[in-house]
Chain A
Amino acid sequence: QVQLVQSGAEVKKPGASVKVSCKASGYTFTNYYIHWLRQSPGQGLEWMAIINPSGGSTRYAQKFQGRVAMTRDTSTSTVYMDLSSLRSEDTAVYYCARGGTSGFDFWGQGTLVTVSS
């Protein structure tokens, strides 16, 4: 069965960086794009970035340009999301999701990132 398993919760200070991982299993890793999305406390969903695991190409939401980077390791079927220059407004649950023409059909369990001094 398809599974996306994310790394655990993080607590970071303002100005620091965080790296969240998303390990895929149950399907051919290079056949589907992976997206990162986030949800601030009590707020809606926000799309951040996409990576093509096959070639590694990425695209980022304008809001996060220059602060976010997605990478992948095909040997372990894992995607990484790096967010830098963290501020309190980045406190959120971060999700990875498999994407295709059928939408975001499988989601990770979410990773809470707390930014606090």
Chain B
Amino acid sequence: SYELTQPPSVSVSPGQTARITCSGDALPKQSAYWYQQKTGQAPVLIIYKDTERPSGIPERISGSSSGTIVTLTISGVQAEDEADYYCQSTDSSGSYWVFGGGTKLTVL
């Protein structure tokens, strides 16, 4: 079955830039999405179609794509950004939805 691979954890100091990667063989063909989940809450969509931001998501959150890797970048990290981040896409046929294992962002 298709898999998306994320690092389990990323740590940065406040004000620095956090980058979280997600790799998958079908990513050149299928769009990627990113979700932020804080403890005890439902996930929130923060990036769609690789690079687009839903309304209300700050500009310091951005997405990029290069081949089989997509990257979530959070600039000027703040304490409130501490959360789990999940990438999501579909298999090459677009028929089944898949999530990465999640990355815990720790703000030091």
B-binding residues in A (CB < 8 A): 35, 37, 44-47, 50, 59, 61-62, 95, 99, 101-105, 107-110
**Complex CA–CA separation, A44 to B79 (angstroms):** 22
The contact of A102 among B42, B49, B97, B99, by CB within 8 Å, is B49
The contact of A110 among B35, B42, B49, B97, by CB within 8 Å, is B42
Q: In chain A, what residue has the closest Cβ to B102?
A: A44
Known A-B contacts: A44-B100, A45-B35, A45-B43. Give 13 more (CB < 8 A).
A35-B97, A44-B102, A46-B99, A47-B97, A101-B48, A102-B52, A103-B35, A103-B49, A104-B33, A104-B88, A105-B54, A107-B43, A109-B42
Q: Does A107 contact B42, Cβ atoms closer than 8 Å?
A: yes
Chain A residues near B54: list those with CB within 8 A: 102, 105
**Complex CA–CA separation, A15 to B101 (angstroms):** 28
Chain B residues near A50: list those with CB within 8 A: 97
**B83-105 near A? 1/0 per residue, CB < 8 Å:** 00010100000011111111000
CB distance from B3 to the nearest CB of A (A): 12
Flag whether B69 is at the interface (Cβ < 8 A).
no
